[in-house]
Amino acid sequence: MLGHLRAVPLLLGQPVRLLRHYPRGALRDDVLAGVTVGLVLLPQALAFSLLAGLPPVMGLYSAMVASIAGALWGSSSHLHSGPTNTASIVTLSVLLPIAAPGSPEFIAAAGLIAVMAGVIRVLLGLARLGLLVNFVSDSVAVGFTAGAGILIISNQIEPLLRIDLPPSTGLLETLIGAARQIGAVHLPSLLLGVATMLIIFVWPRITRQVPAVLIGVTFVAVASYLLGLEALGVSVLGPQPAGLPPLASLPLLDLELIGHLANGALALAIIGLVEAVAIARAIAGHSQQRLDSNQEFVGQGMANIAAGLFSGYPCSGSFNRSALSFQSGAKTALGNVFSGLFILAAMFVLAPLLAHLPRPVLAGALVVTAWSMVDLKAMQRLRRGDPGDALIMGVTLVATLLLPLQFAILIGVLMSLGYYLLRTSAPRVVAVLPDAEFKHWEPHAGRPQCPQLAVVDILGDLYFGAVNHVEETLNAILAATPGQRFVLLRMHSVQHIDISGIRMLENLRRQLREQGGELFFTRVRGPVLERMQASGFFEHLDPRQILDEDTAIDTLFYRVIDPAVCVYECERRAFLECQTLPKRTLPGGGAPHIPLLPLTARPAPTLTPRELWDALHSADPPLVVDVREPREFRGGHVPGALLVPLPTLLSDPQAVPRNRRLVLVCRSGRRSTRAAAVLAGRGYDRLAVLEGGLLAWEGQNLLTAVEEVIS
């Protein structure tokens, strides 16, 4: 919290830093870029305000004020704030149930909702919640933008055809109403709109040095004036006031109206932030500028507050104007400030000419820009990709066309969150085995697994929403191979674990230990390991249970799992270590009457290699009984040892004498421990086990007998 409070002066002081560190020599480039962007901004501001059902001058006021405030308080040098297609259509959608478009109540509500949306954005920025934009997926953005573009096109039918349609954002109502009045189409208006669209489409093929929108609007408007089409009934903007934007009289204390606008303001804030930050990041990908999402939230908030207070309406970032700012060579955010000042100057100089600008010309320009919002390539890619993303895009698109826009974006966001939760709450939990070359792990795909050890990949986080699924899947994996009592969890894909995940691991560990087994881990990430330690999970966990990826199977094979099962009861050879192991399957599938021993089982005392050496050289030496297979015995054994393979010991009660002190030996001590349990059950009481087996004996460089193999 203290860090957030310290960031407030920093975020609000952005204009001071911008001006203090303004580079020398950048002024000329910024002024030229500002004028270039201003030439595009002027017709767009007029068109977008009409789209929102507001007087054209409000678009000019918004363009002027928002571009300056957004540039001064934002973090991007090129993101241009002002009237946009999306902000205009959402504003119209939100305000239609409250007042008639163009009415004083409608105008006042537009200014108020701009201030409300701006305050929400500023507060989100000051609270350093810039990461919230990440929760609106691309599928929602693509679906909503496409739907908004289609709605914008439908809303231009009325000025293009010069017919009377009731105020509505309903697509079906608009199309039905237009079809019923098809005979009343005003041909000159339609020709002006179509001509504007054709020029904007064709002009970029001729040159991109001069903006196509500016050329299309200017050329067709001049042609209309020279042909006298205004006298033939073509509607025009009419007289526009010239001068500085006046301070608006807003119903800031009308709590009832604020309550009605609250949902719409939140929708405007979220949609505008997603749009603006996405544009800023796209431009930064070319300019290599580092962005601060929190600062951008504040910039967009200030732009909307300023627009609302100075007789404007809600704004956002514009992609084409931002790209034009970058392409025009703007060096700093002051380039966008100069575009606002250009609009101010144009209002004094061009006000008389703007009065004769035909509305169908602006409608034609809007149709072209709206069509560019329908990104067919992105929609195709989403359709061919994840089915969930495609469904979210489709539902958002349909909701945008049929429902109020604030509800459409809410539905899309909720679906994205729900889909995210669905995926993260059911991470893949896969039993894996080595591939044919024993180099990589892969899903077992129905291949027989090791009867003792399950190796499992957990591909997702272990948080409260996922632990039930993970636990159930792990239990199903263990149930599929009865007898598996050792589990190795590969945790490289687990980025986060909470207390629910810790408890799930504790339950699994307790379940395995009750069966005489144990739980092991490999590739545990640092934050997950720290959480395990902090939660007390390590208090009952041997650090040696966190294994190295490269040596995990080797360690488990030679030090943990029961070799008697490997040698006498298993023909599967699941791991590389199994390939050279002597196999001697017992008749009847093994010796099921011999219980598996837990890792901590000690049926007999142990002797160290040095203690056994001393005992063998004492007055009463013990009898060393080697329970390995003959092939292993011939490769090396304790001098004087008696070979009694474990199958023989299990099947012949008289295989070893009862009147001698016995020391049981095997490779690592596990088979001998199992043999000791068998003999102890038969009443043998003078037993001991060589600790660590022959590996430990050889590790002490003690004498080993080797039998010559005669071929």
Burial 611-637 (b: 16+ CB within 10 A, else e): ebbebbeeeeebbbbbbbbeebbeeeb
Residue 358 DSSP one-character state: B
Residue 589 DSSP one-character state: S
Residue 57: inside a domain, yes or no?
A: yes
- 337 and 439 in a single domain? The answer is no
Residue 592: inside a domain, yes or no?
A: no
**Residue whose C-alpha is closest to residue 224's, from 260, 203, 251, 196:** 196
Q: Which two tokens stand for residue 507?
A: 């339950």
**Residue whose C-alpha is closest to residue 287's, from 332, 318, 314, 326:** 326
Give residue-wise pLDDT tens across range 213-228. Answer: 778 888 998 999 888 8
- 300 and 259 in a single domain? The answer is yes
Q: Which two tokens stand for residue 272?
A: 């505008």
Q: Order the strands of the 662-665 sheet from edge to edge.
A: 606-607, 687-690, 662-665, 623-626, 642-643
Q: From residue 432, give the alpha-carbon distance in Å to each of 292, 318, 574.
A: 43, 50, 10
Residue 256: inside a domain, yes or no?
A: yes
- 78 and 46 in a single domain? The answer is yes
pLDDT of residue 501: 92
272 with 314: CB under 8 angstroms?
A: yes
DSSP element (H, E) containing 350: helix 334-354
Residue with tokens 């575009």: 339
- 18 and 124 in a single domain? The answer is yes
- 249 and 341 in a single domain? The answer is yes
317 residue type, one letter: G
624 vs 688: CA distance, rounded Å: 9
Furthest-apart CA atoms within the chain: distance in Å:
131
pLDDT of residue 585: 58
3-state class of 424 per DSSP? helix
What stretches of 207-254 show up as alpha helix (H) in DSSP?
212-227
Q: To 10 degrees, the CA torsion angle through 522, 523, 528, 530?
A: 80
Q: To 10 degrees, the CA torsion angle through 683, 686, 689, 690?
A: -160
CATH number for the domain harbouring residue 534: 3.30.750.24
341 vs 688: CA distance, rounded Å: 95
672 vs 601: CA distance, rounded Å: 12
463 with 502: CB under 8 angstroms?
A: no
Residue 203: inside a domain, yes or no?
A: yes
- 625 and 553 in a single domain? The answer is no
- 128 and 99 in a single domain? The answer is yes
Last residue of a domain, one of 415, 450, 468: 415
pLDDT of residue 7: 64
- 314 and 448 in a single domain? The answer is no
For the chain, what is the domain count? 3
Average pLDDT, rounded, for the chain: 85
Residue 512: inside a domain, yes or no?
A: yes
What stretches of 403-491 show up as alpha helix (H) in DSSP?
405-424, 467-480
What stretches of 13-137 show up as alpha helix (H) in DSSP?
14-20, 27-51, 56-73, 85-95, 104-126
pLDDT of residue 614: 92
In degrees, to the nearest 5, what angle opens at C-alpha 482 toward C-alphas 481 and 485? 95
685 residue type, one letter: D
Plot region of 438 (φ>0 → left; ψ -120 to 50 → alpha; else → beta): left
Q: From residue 199, give the alpha-carbon distance in Å to each of 203, 220, 225, 648, 700.
A: 6, 9, 17, 96, 91
315 catalytically annotated: no
- 369 and 394 in a single domain? The answer is yes
Residue numbers of the chain with a pLDDT score lower than 50: 1-2, 588-595, 709-711
62 vs 50: CA distance, rounded Å: 13
- 646 and 545 in a single domain? The answer is no
Q: From residue 249, give the alpha-carbon distance in Å to each of 45, 67, 99, 108, 246.
A: 22, 21, 17, 7, 9
67 with 322: CB under 8 angstroms?
A: no
pLDDT of residue 430: 92
pLDDT of residue 709: 42
56 vs 363: CA distance, rounded Å: 13
Burial 535-546 (b: 16+ CB within 10 A, else e): bebeeebeeeeb
157 with 170: CB under 8 angstroms?
A: no
Residue 131: inside a domain, yes or no?
A: yes
pLDDT of residue 315: 94
CB-CB neighbours of 559 under 10 Å: 14
415 vs 100: CA distance, rounded Å: 32
Domain hosting residue 681, numbered range: 606-699
Q: To 10 degrees, the CA torsion angle through 145, 117, 79, 154?
A: 30
Report the DSSP beta bridge partners of residue 642: 625
Q: For the chain, what percent of residues have pLDDT higher than 90?
A: 31
141 residue type, one letter: A
Residue 137: inside a domain, yes or no?
A: yes
Q: Order the strands of the 546-547 sheet from edge to edge.
A: 441-443, 428-434, 453-459, 486-490, 518-522, 546-547
pLDDT of residue 197: 92
pLDDT of residue 589: 46
Give residue-wise pLDDT tens across range 115-153. Answer: 999 999 999 988 887 666 666 677 887 888 888 888 888
CATH number for the domain harbouring residue 635: 3.40.250.10
Q: Which residues contact 270 (CB under 8 A, 6 or more apart)?
A: 132, 136, 409, 413
Of 450, 566, 570, 666, which is the active-site residue? 666
706 residue type, one letter: V
Q: Are strands 546-547 and 642-643 parallel, antiparallel or unpaired?
A: unpaired
Burial 63-88 (b: 16+ CB within 10 A, else e): bbbbbbbbbbbbbbbbbbbbbbbbbb
- 141 and 225 in a single domain? The answer is yes
Residue 581: inside a domain, yes or no?
A: no
pLDDT of residue 600: 59
250 with 274: CB under 8 angstroms?
A: no
Report the DSSP beta bridge partners of residue 318: 80
Q: From residue 448, give the alpha-carbon distance in Å to each of 433, 437, 485, 576, 588.
A: 9, 17, 16, 15, 19
pLDDT of residue 402: 85
640 residue type, one letter: G
**Residue whose C-alpha is closest to residue 633's, from 622, 620, 652, 646:** 646
- 391 and 479 in a single domain? The answer is no
Q: Are strands 80-82 and 316-318 parallel, antiparallel or unpaired?
A: antiparallel
CA–chain centroid gap for 53, Å, is 37
The CA radius of gyration of the chain, in Å to the nearest whole number, is 39
36 with 151: CB under 8 angstroms?
A: no
